[in-house]
Structure 1
């Protein structure tokens, strides 16, 4: 169900997010820019909700990068604070200086902290006891771990149910007020990052959750850092196939603005025909398409166009479906999950061009010359 919902929502969200970001790069009028920002922010919020549920289902991080813990805590506190309209509950941040970065999916860790803050707010509001939530973070260079603590001065969790709080669908809230997946989600996400989350409550009042996560092993190198610019010569060609015409045309427009000669088709059959009659430096393919889908395209590349494998990536709204996950694992090709921003697309294409540097044919040197 999650895979189907994600696929159906991510395609139209791709159009909204993509066009809003492209307009933001073009428009200079302050009033129009403000409206565009509101559209983009709303669409990105929807996209993050979809990705959050997908993350829970697949139980693994979707994007690992060096993450500033202080920034994650600030974002989580700000977002959770929007729901505290009474102003009776204070959210205090206490983050140590020189905090080590963690290797994590920033959106997922942010959502975990948001869930813990909201749970605390609801417990304090329902009971009428307590008025303080404190979020703290310290790092231990010796163990290379970072500890994040979310605690409150509320009524606490009764001893009788403490052992069950991380069970899926277990909740003490009234029907319609809670699903029982919040703490289960937190538990799965933290474990998938190689960390631990535990309830640290010894007394009858106040609740404290402790999260420990591995610190980042190394700083991002120049290779890891986003390129965010392609500057392609006019003779570089790209082929894009997507049965969602609006999405495919949007991605094609993004690459044309980077100087690519782009051909867009809406069926796998047309894409294979193009590959047989023309040469391309970049090939971006959807996964779920009628008739000839991403798997059939991959199998054709392996058997008939093996050199194109170095130039191919997937852009898909479905990374949860059994067939999609099997193909992505088997093929090992790079992919982006919809909705895709112009910056993400530029980074993906730059990476594909860079990987062609050591290929023996002349096309590879010509393609690599477009990377800056």
Structure 2
């Protein structure tokens, strides 16, 4: 099944409905594009999806609190985007390799990252906090859109090795204007690479609305590269799972890349250094709050008898334990000597890094002299 996205209307919020299987009230609806790919996804199968979404939200709230309290340098909130992150990651096989941006907290939760992995990178002292090969997740990319090139390159490697894994690239709506993303799609299409592009359209690229970023739905760009696409409700965990199944099946069978635009919303700031009240209306935020992905899935599970107070308490307790472990990891973390920023940049020795290390060591030594002089002054 390959679904091509057809451009018929300008991109205005609400004028073109994304594919949906659960309404905001949690009612099951039908969609010709997704129904076949939702086969076997009953309510019981979605309980683990809900759990990981709830853990992601709890971890996200703890990350924001830790940053506000001075334990982390920065945090990129994920509230509101849990469905596409968790559902798409859970749809993947364990061997599939995921290439996230800095906001895909839910992917790390799904893949079993530990509490320290979630927070220590945001202290700005290490290049990565986990082994990418162990989790099958690349270190989150800060450079906007760069991970799409990495994902396509990895997918072409899978192709040449004769493997059946799939590479998945995650990025936001703003990244689609970057050259890297467009170049990645050129290579993916030209070589029929087994890669899935997942664009989380959260409506805002920092302070720029998506209506400025793209006059038409973002999913419409992919067919121009020869890549079929689906525009899906990114707050609908069932629809996100079905869409990802479609995309993965296409890539895994040798048909080439697929593109998913998940229409969702960033409920919080772009990062903890941002104030979204300066550029967006509170009424818009409240309208999207009514489409919350967790309350939607909870309503569906309750209707099906798969969500009760005991399950809610179990999930809440798991979330509290994760948050406590994150806090402990952040509070007890020891700052590394600044010179160690040059460690582990390359697998082996590199003359360029060696020269930079020497220059930085000399710079740090100057501060040591100042500190010593200050100490002598106090002694006198």
Shorter-chain TM-score bucket reads under 0.3
Higher strand share: 1
Q: TM-score, normalised by structure 2?
A: 0.26
Structure with larger RCO (C-alpha < 8 A, sep 6+): 2
Q: TM-score, normalised by structure 1?
A: 0.27
